Amino acid sequence: MSGLLILLSILFPILAGVLLFLIKPLAEDRPRNIYVACALAVSSAITLLCLFTATGSITLWSITENVSIGLRADGLSKIFGTLMSLMFTVVGIYAMGYMEHEEHKNRFFAFYLMVFGVLNGIYLASNLLTMYLFYEMMTLISLPLVLHELTAEAIDAGKKYLYYSIAGAFLSLVSIFLIYTYAGSYNFVGGGIVDASKVAGHENLLLAFVLLAIIGFGCKAGLFPLHDWLPTAHPVAPAPASAVLSGVITKSGVIAIIRVVFYSVGADFIRGTWVQYTWIILTLVTVFLGSMMAYLEKGLKKRLAYSSVSQVSYVLFGLSTLHPLGFLGALLHVIFHSIIKDDLFLVAGAIIHQTGITVVDGLKAIGKRMPLTIWGFTLASLALIGIPPFTGFVSKWFLCSGALDANIGAAGYIGPVVLLVSALLTAGYLLPITIDGFFPGHDFDDSGLTKCEPAPVMLVPILVLSLLALVFGIFPGFIERGIMAVVTEIGL
């Protein structure tokens, strides 16, 4: 029964997506929306049932005695799978309103559902090889979400997304082969599986390839220097696609890095080495670079895309400390950033959908036209900045605490400073939108403005995510306990 649930959590949303191409009556808006809503609800229910009841593992294909394609649910799967189910369902509901005037809606929702299933494959992989296969599949299945509008700009962005993703995955694949040489297995084991006797005398070689894996998988997470696909792909994709690209799909790079460092090689192997410090430097460069580019950017969605470059590297910085508090802060930020950034992209999509405005300079008095939407934006902005009692404050508190306690020298102090500077820049590129939106100034003529809030199917998901950004900040305890169970699992 457990094996069937694990398989269904992957296969059901993929098959549901394929059926959208085959069933002609679903070309109409109402039957398609009902179908997609039911498919998302059932997919989420199966996923949650699998994550919290399935035990043991399932082997799909034994290639050799020590190499197989296998699946299982563990503590890390529960965190990422639960988050993905929530985000895909909320954003999917919003998409029904946003996509009403778009073309090729069946194609969009078909690939949207298929990405749901493939992401479950990444989360439920029991070894490096299985994870890598689903990881590559995810790139190919999510590509149509970027290409959706098929404009010249969208096609160029899709090419960049594909090229960067393949390059990053290639770096990771080479590393995976070397890890097998020194471990004799691809299986995930908390604390790592590398055989110290086999590594003896070749430590620097393995370390170098671990760094390649971090950079390669870090491509999907927007880690410098393979970050440039994010600000190119997000602005051209439909807003629901941008939301899940930023809030969920970038986290596939995060879970892949966690699996390599904490479940394959082991944190102890890289602690205090040049790889750890190089990793820390790359994350801090990305945090600052992304924040500065977001501050300077005038396009609304592109500004949010650069923000994602910065914020996902908060997560990678927490992981790079190799400290329990840093790990806790990192996984908290995985969850909280997903909620916040999905919310911000949904707001951006609502503004574009209702007004056609795509640049920040055109948003004066937008709060008078779309007050509830901009209040949602404001709450999410406060959370991303890290203002208590919102979620961002909680995760950043643990990130800084982990850095200060991690015994990583000057990096332990430089890291919190960079995060603080980034928070100030975040305030600088988000809060002016709210201020100008509600208080455009006495010289601004707002007499001709009319209210243009989006339909409830779009507005409710925005407000729900905004509320979660506050509630989870006040009551984060149950999430922290789940993450600390993973910390125990990996022996950190």
Residue 181 binned pLDDT confidence (cut-offs 50, 70, 90): confident
What is the distance between the alpha carbons of residues 14 and 29, in angstroms, rounded to a whole number? Answer: 20
pLDDT tens for 296-355 read 999 999 999 999 999 999 999 999 999 999 999 999 999 999 999 999 999 999 999 999
Which of 22-26, 33-37, 55-59 has the largest mean confidence?
33-37
Q: Which of the pair, 345 or 183, is modelled with greater confidence? A: 345
pLDDT tens digits, 37-72:
999 999 999 999 999 987 878 888 888 777 888 999
pLDDT digits (tens, 9 = 90+) for 347-370: 999 999 999 999 999 999 899 999
Q: What is the pLDDT of residue 194?
A: 84
Name the nearest CA neighbour of 416 among 435, 402, 436, 437.
402
Which pLDDT score, from 0 to 100, does residue 486 have? 93
CA distances from 22 to 26, 106, 107, 190 (A): 9, 10, 11, 43
C-alpha closest to that of 94 among 381, 349, 340, 336: 349
Tokens of 343: 């919310």
Of the pLDDT bands very low, low, confident and very high (cuts 50, 70, 90), residue 1 is low
Residue 113 · residue 16 · CB < 8 Å: yes
- Cα–Cα distance list, 360 to 298, 351, 429, 433 (Å): 5, 11, 9, 7
Burial track 330-356 (b if 16+ CB lie within 10 A, e otherwise):
bbbbbbbbbbbbbbbbbbbbbbbbbee
Tokens of 84: 């993905």
CA distance 179 to 212: 12
Task: Quote the percentage of the chain above a pLDDT of 70.
Answer: 100
Alpha helices in 250-363, H assignment, sequence order: 250-260, 267-270, 274-296, 300-320, 324-355
Asked if pLDDT for residue 4 goes beyond 90, the answer is no
Quick check: 480 pLDDT over 90? yes
Contact 220, 55 (CB under 8 A): no
